[in-house]
Structure 1
Amino acid sequence: MLAKTELERYNRQMILPELGLEGQERLKVAKVLIIGAGGLGCPVLQYLTAAGVGKIGIADDDVVELSNLHRQILYNHTDIGQPKAEIASAKLAVLNPHVSFTAYHERFTSDNAISICQEYDLVMDCSDNFNTRYLVNDTCVTLGKTLIFGSILAFEGQVAVFNHQGSANYRDLYPTPPAESMNCGEGGVIGVLPGIIGLYMANEAIKLICGIGETLAGKLMTINALNNTVLVFKIAQEKQTEIVKAETPVSSPKEIDKATLDQWLSESPDEVFLIDVREDYEYEENNMGGVNISLYELTSSLKSIPKNKKVVCYCQTGQRSKMAVRLLKEDYKGEVYGLKGGFTG
């Protein structure tokens, strides 16, 4: 039952016919765990708190640093050196006293993953490293929990809903970690990007809790804030459920390793067409040859790609090249491969 002050507080969203009183009551009894209280975690936490999610868990073993403040706007300079989970809980309790918070100022590991996750209805992965992402995913699969995933780097972000009513999970998208990977500390990030991606994640959470709208279950949304491009990919999984059978799943992209590419280039260089699918400023800074066609310009550049050669897409880590292969296979009939692990792998 919502208190009178809550009815007034949430009035503007409750008058939406899709949400209404029933949706607000669902939010009130919902229990959501946010893993990572950094760039993505901050907007997710702020907006789910404001929306009236009843119980929120915050798992993060990190402390606030000065370099966090350009994007983690829940914190300020007086919080430097303080535990993020505890500081976030205190600040959010002021934002909405009707929400209860549990802070886990500890590293999310295989020793505590199940005990932390099991009491929540929904898990949101706002972490910034692959080890944690795989652990969160595997824990959610084990416990049968829906997982909302987000990631950011430079000007690009990703959002997906995994393991929801039989939909694909993170390992269907990325079966194994890349050989080389970067986080925001190494590759940089524009300060507004966590807000954009974090708000999409929070919106997915509200839709899932209230049972409204169309979610990103079984799909991956990518957003490029530099050129305002948004793409949505369907994620293939080993066993399709009824939810995604109506859609045509995308097969796993073909990949080759660096040794195979070197052999092709050595034995028959005229039969290989290399495409660097990063942005032009990345290509100019460092590349391994070939032409530069941004991931987001591939579909409009099909005429420039020969059909009688082996097309090999590459990027820094191999993640964008995977998406490039999926994107090209929709309209391109020639051989297309991604460089596994990227040119740094």
Structure 2
Amino acid sequence: MERIDQLRREIALRESELADLRSQLALAESEHRARQDDGSSGWKWPLAQHEYDRYSRQMIVPKLGLESQLKLKKSRVLVIGAGGLGCPASAYLAGAGVGILGLVDGDTVEVSNLHRQIAHSTSRVGMSKVESAITYLQELNPTIKYHAHQTHLTTENAQGIVSQYDFVLDCTDHPTSRYLISDICTLLSKPLISASAFQSSGQLIVLNNPPGQGPCYRCVFPKPPPPESVVGCGEGGIIGPVVGVMGVLQALEAIKVITQEAEQKGDEKKKTNTMLLFSALTDTPFRSVRMRGRRSDCVACGDASELTLEKLKSSMDYVQFCGVKEPVKLLKPEERITVEDYARIAKEQKDHVLIDVREKEQFGLCSIPGSINIPITRFMSHRPEKGQVPEWFPEAISPSSPVYLVCRVGNDSQTAAQKLKDMGLDRDGERFVGDISGGLMAWRNAIDPSIPFV
């Protein structure tokens, strides 16, 4: 494996170097053609010949044309997040011919990214996402400039990075990032295109457009979601094309914002702000809902807002604002067993029940031998009288058979165990009801590394 990893790193490095050389070549050829066209050949058009060749199909679209292409060429666009949203968004912006395209991301490419993050590849696993994405983009369009920011956006670096660009795309996946990005865009008067995707659905909104008039993220979502409700793709899953659709729509909205005519003062009617909702598995996947406008009492963009660049850097704590998801601590230490203890119990004690509370899709991928699948949703929706055994509860060899519960990492299993206790199935302590600490992750690490843990 060490040799394989070394070869992958070398291939990724060579790909990056080759893409950079091609970009330099394309730039040199472009400059050479520009010098040739400067008067001596009578070239009198605002774009170079290679730009007409590359963007002609786009420029002949009604309401776009040459003027829009020139606006794109002058634009500086920042994509924050080089993942499932950022990859397709940056690809279509690069293809459209934006002047400067910046990418911000502090993560590296993982194998689990590849089913949806189309700018990355197997050979670039372990490589910086920004470096990997730019390698891909240089192959796609080597004639524009790319700026790499191999870091996460923070309160300390946000002003320095965002101030270099005219338009921003939020392609991140956590509330802390979304509030920070919105705040810095509000303070620096940058239009913001924000999207999100989870499982089979997504949403898209255009914020702070025009700057100072459009709502910011805080206007639409004054309060962050409860920390325990925030589930990432690693736990909840995501369909690749869903996040791809939302990323493509972000690029489309960015092109519209860049190329649209500035609204005239005192113009006809006030712009209606909408949020686009996408649900992939329904008969009508797209719908728009009216979005509230700028709130006069908004803490970021309101009339009496006290948010400043200095305050953002010195005293804004976005993690505290959004809350921290605390580890679940519902069971006593003696009500939890280690995976080593359960491995011994599985061999020596046949008279017991092991319930896996993950959803059936996850259970179908891998499980501990002998476990029974009852999803946590069944536990949460059941409201029986105390002592009443629910119909879905498995029959045991005897009413005193111990019950062990397991989940992905040991959180939902505690919740399910406590629910069984609340139902009285522990018979006031006579029957053991508890969970396996660390869940399937601990089982894979300590007992069975062959489990395809997801």
Asked whether the two chains share a fold, i.e. TM above 0.5, the reply is yes
Match of 2:279? 224
What amino acid is the match of 1:121? D
Secondary structure class of the residue paired with 2:222: coil
Q: Give, in whole Å, the separation in 2 of the partners of 1:218 and 1:37.
A: 27
* Contact kept in structure 1, 2:190 and 2:208, CA below 8 Å: yes
Alpha-carbon displacement from aligned partner over 1:133-172 (angstroms, at most 9, x marks no partner): 1100000011111000000000000100001121111111
- The equivalences for 1:235-274 within 5 A come to 235-236=291-292, 237-239=294-296
Match of 1:69? 114
Question: Displacement, 1:77?
Answer: 0.4
What amino acid is the match of 1:105? Q
- Please tell me whether residue 173 in structure 1 is matched to residue 189 in structure 2: no
Q: Give, in whole Å, the separation in 2 of the partners of 1:39 and 1:217.
A: 29
Alpha-carbon displacement from aligned partner over 1:161-196 (angstroms, at most 9, x marks no partner): 001121111111111221121121121000111111
Q: Give, in whole Å, the separation in 2 of the partners of 1:33 and 1:5.
A: 25
Question: Displacement, 1:98?
Answer: 1.6
Match of 1:52? 97
* Contact kept in structure 1, 2:276 and 2:287, CA below 8 Å: yes
Superposition CA RMSD, Å: 2.2
Question: Displacement, 1:239?
Answer: 3.7
Which of 92, 109, 130 aligns to 1:85? It is 130
Match of 1:156? 201
Q: Give, in whole Å, the separation in 1 of the partners of 2:52 and 2:221.
A: 43
Which of 63, 76, 81 aligns to 1:18? It is 63
Match of 2:163? 118
Q: Give, in whole Å, the separation in 2 of the partners of 1:18 and 1:168.
A: 26
- Please tell me whether residue 6 in structure 1 is matched to residue 47 in structure 2: no
Match of 1:41? 86
**Which structure shows the bigger proportion of residues in strand conformation?**
1
Which of 187, 192, 198 aligns to 2:241? It is 192
Match of 2:142? 97
- Please tell me whether residue 141 in structure 1 is matched to residue 186 in structure 2: yes
Rg larger for: 2
- Please tell me whether residue 202 in structure 1 is matched to residue 251 in structure 2: yes
Question: Displacement, 1:107?
Answer: 1.3
Match of 2:438? none
Q: May I ask how many residue pairs the two structures share in their alignment?
A: 247
* Contact kept in structure 2, 1:167 and 1:217, CA below 8 Å: no
Q: Give, in whole Å, the separation in 2 of the partners of 1:60 and 1:178.
A: 24
Question: Displacement, 1:119?
Answer: 1.3
Question: Displacement, 1:213?
Answer: 12
What amino acid is the match of 1:221? L
What amino acid is the match of 1:169? C
Question: Displacement, 1:232?
Answer: 1.2
* Contact kept in structure 2, 1:126 and 1:149, CA below 8 Å: yes
What amino acid is the match of 2:214? S
Secondary structure class of the residue paired with 2:240: coil
Q: Which runs of 5 or more residues in structure 2 are unaligned?
A: 1-45, 264-270, 298-360, 362-374, 383-454
Which one has more relative contact order, counting CA pairs under 8 Å at least 6 apart? 1
Match of 2:289? 233
TM-score by length of 1: 0.68
* Contact kept in structure 2, 1:153 and 1:184, CA below 8 Å: yes
- The equivalences for 1:21-32 within 5 A come to 21-32=66-77
Q: Give, in whole Å, the separation in 2 of the partners of 1:210 and 1:81.
A: 37
| Deviant stretches of 4+, over 2 Å | 287-290
Question: Displacement, 1:285?
Answer: 6.2
Match of 1:132? 177
Q: Give, in whole Å, the separation in 2 of the partners of 1:31 and 1:223.
A: 28
Residues 148 and 185 (structure 1 numbering): CA distance in 2 closer, same or farther, change over 3 Å? same
TM-score by length of 2: 0.52
Question: Displacement, 1:234?
Answer: 1.8
Secondary structure class of the residue paired with 2:258: helix
* Contact kept in structure 2, 1:168 and 1:217, CA below 8 Å: no
Question: Displacement, 1:217?
Answer: 7.1
What amino acid is the match of 1:83? S
Alpha-carbon displacement from aligned partner over 1:39-62 (angstroms, at most 9, x marks no partner): 000000111000101100000000
**What is the percent sequence identity of the aligned residues?**
42
- Please tell me whether residue 286 in structure 1 is matched to residue 377 in structure 2: yes
Stretch moving more, 30-39 or 91-100: 91-100
